[in-house]
Structure 1
C-alpha cells in the first residue's frame, strides 16, 4: 500500500470518529502509527474559562488520562501555548528547551513514568471565539530533539484533521440536552441548588458571576460547590469540569 493510500485510510478513520461512526481510540492509534509515534490524544479546550471540555486517547491507560485531567492538564505547557500560539502544527521545542523538560512537572512527573517525552500536534484555529482543539501525538525520548519527519507528515493532512475536529465540535455542542443533564445530576443526589450551580459551572460561568446572578452569598456558593464536588467524586476544578462536560455530552450516566 502506498503512503498516499495509508494517509487516506487514516483520514477515513478520523472522519468516521468525528461523525460518530467510528472509534476515536482506533483512529488516533492509526494516526500515531502513520507518524511512527507511541500514543495520541484529542483534546477540546475552552480558552476563555480554562476548562478542558473533552479528551480521548489511544494507548494511554484510562487511569493515566483521569490523572492528567485531574492533576496535570493545567501544568501542560502545550495547553498554555494554545492560548498564545496561532500555529496549526506545534511541538515541544517551540516553547520549552530540553533542559527545562527534564525538570518541568508535566514532563518529569507525568510523561516520564509513562515512557513518553515529546509531542507534535495539529491545532484548530479559535472556534466560536473561545474553543481550540488539538490532536497530539506522543513519542518516547529514545531519539531526542525536533522530529522534522513527523512535522512534515502531519502538515500534508493538517487541513483534514482540522476539518474533522471542527466537525466533532459541532456534534458535541448539538448533543447537549438541557433536560437530560439535570436529570443525571438529580440521580446522583444533587439538590436543585446544586444542580443549578453544576449547570452554570459546566457552561463556563464563574462562581462569583453565578453568585451575583442568583443573588446569593459566596459562602452559600462555596458550600454548594464543595457538595457538588463530593457528590460527583471530584477533587478539584479541573476534575469537576471534565466530569460535568462528559455528563452533559452523554459520556457518563
Structure 2
C-alpha cells in the first residue's frame, strides 16, 4: 500500500490515540498531520490513504479543526473518517466530517464513532478506550484495509442531520492556579485559538477560548482546570446522565 497519514485534531490526545491505533494496522510507515499545529494547505495523491480523527464538541467537529481540515485536499484519495467522543452524543459530527472529506476530494471508504475518557467531565468514560474498544478498533481497521485492497467505497448511511446542529460555546471558565504556573509557555504554544497571552500565561481570553482542553492537557504542573459555578453545577448532572456505557459504531 501507499503512504498512510494519520490526520487528527486532538487537544486531550485521546482522538490521536484512536487514529494512531487504526493507522498502525497498516504495514506502511505512518505520517502524522497534527492539526493542533499544522495549519497549511496540503494535497494528497490518489494512491495515498488518510485516517482522519476529530473530537466531538457539542455535536459538531470543532470549528478551528474544521477550518484547518478544509485546507487538506485529495485526488480521490482513500479516507477513513473517525469522530471520538466522551460517551455523550455524536449528533451530526460524523456526518459533517464525512461530508467535508467528500467535498475536498476524498473517497471515504469507512467511518466510525469511538469513545474515550471525557475531556471536560472526568467522571465519564474513565479508562476508555479500553481493551474491548481497542479490539473492536483493530477489527475495523482490518476491514478498512480489505476494502481498500478491493477498491470498495463507503456503503453505509451515516447518521446525522443537515443542516448540522448550531455551534455552541460552553460557559465554563478555564482558570490557572498562578501559584503552580512556572511560565513554561507550553499552553501558549498549543492553544489553537491564540487565547493565552505569552506575557501572562495565567490569563485566558474566554471570548476566544473554545474550551478544547489543550492547555489543560499539556500543562506539566497541572495548573490549569475548568472552574466556576456553571461547571460545578453541570458536572454531577452530566456525569450521571452519561454514566451508561456506549459502544463504538462502525460504518463500512
TM-score normalised by structure 1 residue count: 0.27
Identify the structure with the greater helix proportion: 1
Identify the structure with the greater strand proportion: 2
TM-score normalised by structure 2 residue count: 0.27
Q: Which has the larger radius of gyration?
A: 1
